[in-house]
């Protein structure tokens, strides 16, 4: 895939009151970069505020100081720069904002003058000032007219921005994430950690056991698929889909939260590659894994006259992958499925292995199928826009792979926990790539979770985890949070019956605690949990079977576990009868 120019700075331009100063530190926090406000730097250097500079030196003096502050800001890499509304009116300033090396990414925040005026009026009233006192360029009669005139005059260079975002209705937090999503989609972020450690990228061809079936012989494309983990991989999506030889129409499915961030960039990437994508959005959250939402996607595909061979692209987290994947599996007896996972949980677990499903009121993932994708593209940079709680929950599935499958991997998570929590690119990418490789190795040997097969080990922590989600109402507990408690329960149950060493319990719980994951179920009903767990897919003959760790990196399926031991362990974690 072609190399992408990396950026060193994000420059925010746009009219006064667009929110540049408010948003800049939020963008910086998401990226772990510095931020600077040009007006604040000018005031600091001059030793007086902006109105005083205008009074003493006029607009010409202010603009000179503004260009000097901008030149100083451009000397620093990895910085977010909030500029003044009129900074680009001088050619020398424009040359700094748009240098020949293109190491800057310029984002224009576009807000209509009438909305800006409402914001500035409210701001001035809070300070017991007039808008003209706070903003010298608006001094005099008819400030709204003045604002409109300035906006029109500056549009000529506002339109030079690399990306323009209509920011009227975005909250500052969502706007910051939208800005980061824009550079992530284009693969523009630097590809090393703060310490300069190179990133790991992985492209693994998943070879399927179903390749041996007569049906597979009639459809060679279903014999395998590529699972890609690479920083900046989202920018290669169009090329990768083109290489698959797919028809030009694409059917993209995303929840509303992900669409707000990634829809513009992903749709542009696909159209630039010659595809004709349209998108279906649904309400975010586990409750959307329902018959109603499945029907809505089917209806949308029918309305579009979707044809067999046209791909369905699941853009988002685990809920999107499960829901859209099941729609792909069932519409016209199967559309090509492309997974673009944007959450940690989806990247390391839900998008790999071909399980797709919706929930039933009596149990999670009870209605589903095995349906393999044609391609998985996991870009760890998308995790920079993930809210903290949703990022943290994903580490439960990662830790699961270490405890149940590979002790060396678990030890690497212990070593790198703080860097992973800080979302440092290199450790994060490496951890995801290794987690995906572990799951791929299991899936290749046991594609459809045969009786007694190794794939059942991937359900470590899930028997109780799914029950927690079911009895509390889907969405109150995130999936990874419930799995975390499920792993604590399974290891302690193993310790009760003498198969799990105490050290495994202790190290697992210590690591879960470092990641801020829950480990108790205080107040939940043991009776209800046991009732729902009996619906688990691993249950046989009305008896539960448990995946319990026997050593760090090893787990085994046990069926001879008494209900008394189960209830005693539930009580130990705070469940009540």
Give the pLDDT of residue 85. Answer: 87
Picking from 229, 185, 159, 166, the residue whose alpha carbon sits closest to that of residue 7 is 185
Share of the chain above pLDDT 90, in %: 70
Burial-class residue 141 by CB neighbours within 10 Å (0-12, 13-18, 19+). Answer: exposed
Give the pLDDT of residue 518. Answer: 97
pLDDT surpasses 50 at 215: no
Give the pLDDT of residue 267. Answer: 97
Give the tens place of pLDDT for each residue, 401-438: 999 999 999 999 999 999 999 999 999 999 999 999 99
Which has the minimum average pLDDT: 176-180, 255-259, 309-313, 450-454? 450-454
Is 284 within 8 Å of 319 (Cβ atoms)?
A: yes
Give the tens place of pLDDT for each residue, 538-570: 665 567 889 999 999 999 999 889 999 999 999
pLDDT surpasses 70 at 76: yes
Is 211 within 8 Å of 448 (Cβ atoms)?
A: no
User: The tokens of 31 are what?
Assistant: 């990226």
Q: Which residue has the higher pLDDT, 458 or 204?
A: 458
Is 378 within 8 Å of 341 (Cβ atoms)?
A: yes
Tell me which residues are annotated as active site: 333, 355, 397, 439, 449, 455, 459, 462, 466, 479
Picking from 384, 379, 378, the residue whose alpha carbon sits closest to that of residue 350 is 378
Give the pLDDT of residue 168. Answer: 83
Q: Which residue has the higher pLDDT, 228 or 213?
A: 228
Strands 311-316 and 337-341, by their bridges, are parallel
Give the tens place of pLDDT for each residue, 336-351: 999 999 999 999 988 8
Per the DSSP assignment, residues forming a β-bridge with 217 are none
Instruction: Tell me how far apart the alpha carbons of residues 292 and 373 are, in angstroms, rounded to a whole number.
Output: 23
* Cβ-Cβ contacts under 8 Å for 195 (sequence gap 6 or more): 426
Is 138 within 8 Å of 132 (Cβ atoms)?
A: yes
Q: In what order do the strands lie in the sheet with 163-166?
A: 34-37, 79-82, 9-13, 104-110, 163-166
pLDDT surpasses 60 at 210: no
3-state secondary structure of 466: helix
Give the tens place of pLDDT for each residue, 352-405: 888 899 998 888 888 999 899 999 999 999 999 999 999 999 999 999 999 999
pLDDT surpasses 60 at 499: yes
The mean pLDDT value of the chain amounts to: 89
Which DSSP helix (H) or strand (E) runs through 251? strand 249-255
Give the pLDDT of residue 463. Answer: 93
Instruction: Tell me how far apart the alpha carbons of residues 493 and 137 are, in angstroms, rounded to a whole number.
Output: 70
| Chain centroid to CA 86 | 35
3-state secondary structure of 224: strand
For each of the domains in the chain, give its residue range(s) and CATH number, in order of start: 9-185 (3.40.50.300), 202-385 (3.40.50.1970), 460-572 (1.20.1090.10)
Which has the minimum average pLDDT: 40-54, 207-221, 354-368? 207-221
Give the pLDDT of residue 102. Answer: 79
pLDDT surpasses 80 at 468: yes
| Chain centroid to CA 267 | 17
Q: What is the mean pLDDT of residues 30-51?
A: 94
Instruction: Tell me how far apart the alpha carbons of residues 312 and 325 are, in angstroms, rounded to a whole number.
Output: 8
Band of pLDDT at residue 195, cut at 50, 70 and 90? low
Taking the CA atoms of the chain, what radius of gyration do you get in angstroms? 27
Instruction: Tell me how far apart the alpha carbons of residues 356 and 396 are, in angstroms, rounded to a whole number.
Output: 20
User: The tokens of 50 are what?
Assistant: 């902006």
User: The tokens of 364 are what?
Assistant: 């999670």
Instruction: Tell me how far apart the alpha carbons of residues 110 and 302 are, in angstroms, rounded to a whole number.
Output: 37
């Amino acid at each position: 895939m072609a190399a992408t120019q990396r950026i060193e700075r994000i420059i925010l331009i746009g009219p006064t009151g667009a929110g540049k100063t408010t948003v800049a530190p939020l963008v910086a926090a998401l990226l772990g970069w510095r931020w600077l406000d040009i007006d604040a730097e000018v005031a600091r250097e001059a030793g007086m505020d902006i109105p005083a500079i205008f009074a003493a030196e006029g607009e010409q003096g202010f603009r000179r100081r503004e260009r000097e502050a901008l030149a100083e800001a451009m000397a620093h890499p990895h910085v977010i720069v909030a500029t003044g509304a009129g900074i680009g009116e001088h050619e020398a300033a424009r040359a700094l904002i748009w240098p020949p090396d293109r190491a800057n990414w310029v984002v224009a925040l576009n807000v209509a003058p009438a909305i800006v005026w409402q914001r500035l009026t409210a701001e001035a009233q809070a300070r017991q000032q007039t808008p003209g006192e706070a903003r010298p360029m608006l001094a005099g009669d008819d400030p709204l007219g003045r604002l409109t005139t300035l906006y029109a005059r500056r549009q000529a260079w506002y339109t030079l921005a690399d990306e323009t975002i209509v920011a009227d209705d975005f909250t500052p937090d969502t706007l910051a994430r939208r800005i980061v999503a824009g550079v992530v989609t284009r693969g523009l972020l630097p590809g090393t950690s703060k310490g300069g450690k190179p990133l790991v990228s992985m492209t693994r061809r998943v070879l399927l056991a179903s390749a041996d079936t007569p049906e597979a012989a009639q459809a060679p494309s279903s014999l395998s698929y590529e699972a890609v983990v690479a920083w900046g991989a989202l920018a290669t999506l169009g090329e990768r889909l083109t290489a698959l030889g797919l028809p030009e129409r694409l059917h993209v499915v995303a929840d509303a939260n992900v669409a707000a961030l990634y829809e513009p960039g992903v749709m542009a990437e696909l159209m630039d590659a010659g595809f004709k994508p349209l998108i279906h959005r649904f309400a975010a959250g586990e409750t959307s894994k329902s018959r109603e939402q499945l029907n809505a996607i089917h209806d949308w595909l029918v309305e579009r006259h979707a044809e067999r061979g046209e791909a369905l692209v699941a853009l988002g987290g685990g809920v999107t992958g499960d829901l859209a994947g099941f729609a792909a599996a069932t519409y016209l007896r199967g559309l090509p499925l492309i997974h673009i996972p944007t959450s940690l949980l989806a990247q390391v677990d839900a998008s790999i292995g071909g399980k797709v499903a919706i929930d039933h009121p009596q149990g999670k993932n009870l209605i589903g199928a095995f349906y393999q994708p044609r391609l998985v593209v996991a870009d760890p940079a998308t995790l920079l826009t993930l809210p903290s709680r949703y990022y943290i929950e994903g580490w439960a599935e990662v830790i699961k792979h270490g405890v149940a499958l590979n002790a060396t991997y678990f030890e690497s998570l212990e070593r790198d926990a703080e860097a992973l929590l800080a979302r440092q690119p290199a450790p994060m990418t490496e951890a995801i790539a290794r987690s995906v490789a572990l799951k791929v190795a299991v899936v290749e040997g046991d594609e459809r979770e045969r009786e007694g097969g190794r794939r059942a080990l991937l359900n470590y922590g899930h028997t109780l985890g799914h029950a927690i989600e079911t009895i509390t109402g889907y969405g109150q507990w995130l999936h990874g949070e419930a799995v975390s408690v499920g792993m604590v329960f399974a290891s302690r149950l193993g310790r009760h019956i003498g198969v799990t060493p105490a050290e495994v319990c202790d190290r697992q719980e210590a690591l879960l605690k470092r990641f801020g994951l829950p480990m108790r179920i205080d107040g939940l009903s043991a009776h209800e949990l046991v009732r729902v767990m009996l619906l688990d897919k691993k249950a046989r003959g009305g008896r539960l079977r448990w995946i319990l760790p026997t050593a760090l990196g090893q787990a085994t399926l046990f069926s001879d576990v008494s209900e008394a031991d189960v209830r005693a362990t539930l009580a130990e974690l705070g469940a009540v009868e």
